[in-house]
Amino acid sequence: MLTAVVLRFLRSKLFLTAIFFASLTYFLVSFYSDGSAMLASGEDVHELGSGRRPLGHVFQWQGPEDNNETKTKPSFCRNSVQGKALIADDKGYVCNRQNVLPNGCCKPDTEGTKHYSCETCHTNGCCSIYEYCISCCLQPEKKEVLQDVLGKAAGSLNLLLTSVSDHFELCLTKCRTSSQSVQHENSYRNPRAKHCYGESLPPLETEGTLTAA
């Protein structure tokens, strides 16, 4: 008798209606949660320029203390790797490739090694040599310029910058030649200033000689 009552209840419209609304509620809650997560992720990318990183990332800027050459020598350095003649490391040094130590750092007390060097760079933030662009870009006082770069970054560049976690990686990425440096398909706006860490476009070569930074 009890079994028959239970079966009749399970087949009743009231029970089926309750099941329907419970399923609908679960679907709406799940959909809203997923949408909120996607929105939060999108906001993290959009707010990249204001210094906010995707969840779990803290952007590391080069600080004034990194200019203290008397402190303990670093155990390891990242560097620009591919240069045939010059290498720039993440401490702001640029040196000849043969003066790179086994730990990846430039040997500081060597002829030709320079710290935070803006050689070949101009006041608009464009340089003719990639490694000097990185070294100049790593100067702590360039932080404001680079914050503007992050703030104005949009579209695909923003997506690229989501993988950038610190000052050095930003300079590596920004100093590479980009579409901004290209005037026509096979020519640069200025072949002598095609590596830029700032927002300014390389001036056309016909505009005259630039003032060095």
Whole-angstrom distance, CA of residue 210 vs CA of residue 123? 8
**What b/e string do you get for 52-72 counting C-beta neighbours within 10 Å, with b at 16 or more?**
bbeeeeebebbeeebeeeeee
Contacts for 11 with CB less than 8 Å, ≥ 6 apart: none
Backbone Cα Rg of the chain: 27
pLDDT the model gives residue 182: 52
Q: What is the predicted pLDDT for the residue at 94?
A: 97
Rounded average pLDDT per 10-residue block, the chain, 213 residues: 57 63 66 42 37 55 63 82 93 96 95 95 89 96 87 63 82 78 52 78 54 51
The CA distance from 39 to 23, in Å, is: 24
Identify whether the C-beta of residue 114 lies closer than 8 Å to the C-beta of residue 94. Answer: yes
Give the per-residue pLDDT at 200: 72
State residue 158's pLDDT score: 60
